[in-house]
C-alpha cells in the first residue's frame, strides 16, 4: 500500500492485500448455476442478484441501509430469475457478489465496472484502488462468471444449437429524483426482432407501460452481456428490466414471472 493510496481514503479497513485470496474457503463461489441441464434454448443470466460483499472488503465503507439499496444489487431479480428458470426449464447463471465490488454487466476498465460513486453515493472501499486490487476482483469474480457463460455458449453452438441470451434486471422507480413511468422495459441491441416481439407481447396487457430500450439502452461501452454474449455471436439477446417495487414480494415475483414466461414462450414461437 502506498502512502498516496492510503491518503486517498479516510480509513483503510476496506483495503485488501491482493497477495491474499479475496474469498475465504467458506464463502460462496463467484457464481452459481441453476437448472444446468434445462432444455429451453433460453440461457438466463442474472448479473446483479446479490448485495454480498467479500469479508475481506468489509462493508466497503457503506452503512447497511446503503448496501440494501438498489445501488448494490437489483432488488427482486434473484427470485424472479429462479422462477423463470423453473417455468421455462432454462439454465440460469447467477452471480453471488454485489455489483459494487465489480459489475459483471460492464466492460472491464470503464468507471462503472468498479464504481467510486453510484448515483450520489460515494463508495469508500473503491477509492484509490491499485491496479493489483482491481485485477484481483476481475480475476476472482468477473472472469470466472464470464468464461463459464462463454463455455456454455460455445458448447451449445458446437452442437448446432442457437441459444437465446436473456439478462434479468430490475430498476429503481425513482432515479436522481425523477419518477420513472415504466412498469418494465426491454433492452436490446442487434436483435431488434426479438426485442420488439417481447415488447409487443408485454404491451398486449392493459395498464402496462413498457419501455422500448428504456429506462436504459444497450451500448458496448456500458454493457457486457448483450454486446459480448449475444450480439457478437449473432445470437438473439436482450435484457429484461422490471421496476423493483413490482417484484419485491413473492406475489409480485409470481405475477411477473408468469407474465414474462408467457412472453418468452410467444417470442420463441416467432424465432422458430
Categorize the per-residue pLDDT at 73 as very low, low, confident or very high, splitting at 50, 70 and 90: very high
7 burial level (CB within 10 Å; 0-12, 13-18, 19+): exposed
Q: At what angle do helices 250-271 and 192-203 cross, to 10 degrees?
A: 130
Categorize the per-residue pLDDT at 119 as very low, low, confident or very high, splitting at 50, 70 and 90: confident
The 10 Å Cβ neighbour count of residue 24 is 10
pLDDT at 10 over 50: no
Residue 22 near residue 16, CB atoms below 8 Å: yes
User: For residue 167, what are the β-bridge partners?
Assistant: 45, 239
Q: What is the pLDDT of residue 270?
A: 86
| Range from 1-5, 106-110, 185-189, 190-194 carrying the lowest mean pLDDT | 1-5
Look up the pTM and report it. 0.93
pLDDT at 4 over 50: no
Amino acid at each position: 500500500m502506498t502512502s498516496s493510496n492510503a491518503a486517498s481514503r479516510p480509513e483503510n479497513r476496506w483495503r485488501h492485500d491482493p497477495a491474499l485470496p479475496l474469498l475465504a474457503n467458506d464463502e460462496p463461489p463467484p457464481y452459481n448455476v441453476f437448472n444446468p441441464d434445462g432444455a429451453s434454448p433460453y440461457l438466463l443470466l442474472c448479473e446483479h442478484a446479490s448485495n454480498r460483499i467479500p469479508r475481506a472488503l468489509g462493508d466497503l465503507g457503506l452503512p447497511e441501509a446503503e448496501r440494501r439499496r438498489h445501488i448494490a444489487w437489483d432488488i427482486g431479480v434473484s427470485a424472479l430469475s429462479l422462477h423463470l428458470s423453473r417455468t421455462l426449464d432454462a439454465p440460469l447463471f447467477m452471480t453471488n457478489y454485489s455489483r459494487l465490488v465489480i459489475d459483471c454487466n460492464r466492460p472491464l476498465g470503464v468507471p462503472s465496472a468498479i464504481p467510486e460513486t453510484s448515483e450520489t453515493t460515494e463508495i469508500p472501499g473503491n477509492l484509490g484502488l491499485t491496479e493489483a486490487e482491481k485485477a484481483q476482483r476481475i480475476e476472482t469474480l468477473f472472469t470466472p462468471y464470464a468464461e463459464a457463460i462463454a463455455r456454455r455458449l460455445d458448447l451449445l453452438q458446437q452442437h448446432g444449437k442457437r441459444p437465446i441470451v436473456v439478462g434479468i434486471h430490475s430498476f429503481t422507480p425513482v432515479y436522481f429524483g425523477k419518477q420513472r413511468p415504466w412498469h418494465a422495459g426491454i433492452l436490446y441491441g442487434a436483435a431488434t426482432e426479438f426485442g420488439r416481439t417481447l415488447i409487443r407481447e408485454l404491451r398486449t396487457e392493459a395498464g402496462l407501460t413498457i419501455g422500448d430500450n428504456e429506462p436504459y439502452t444497450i451500448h458496448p461501452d456500458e454493457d457486457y452481456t448483450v454486446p459480448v454474449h449475444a450480439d457478437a455471436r449473432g445470437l438473439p439477446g436482450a435484457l429484461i428490466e422490471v421496476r423493483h417495487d413490482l417484484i419485491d414480494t413473492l406475489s409480485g415475483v409470481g405475477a411477473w414471472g408468469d407474465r414474462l414466461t408467457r412472453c418468452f414462450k410467444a417470442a420463441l414461437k416467432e424465432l422458430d
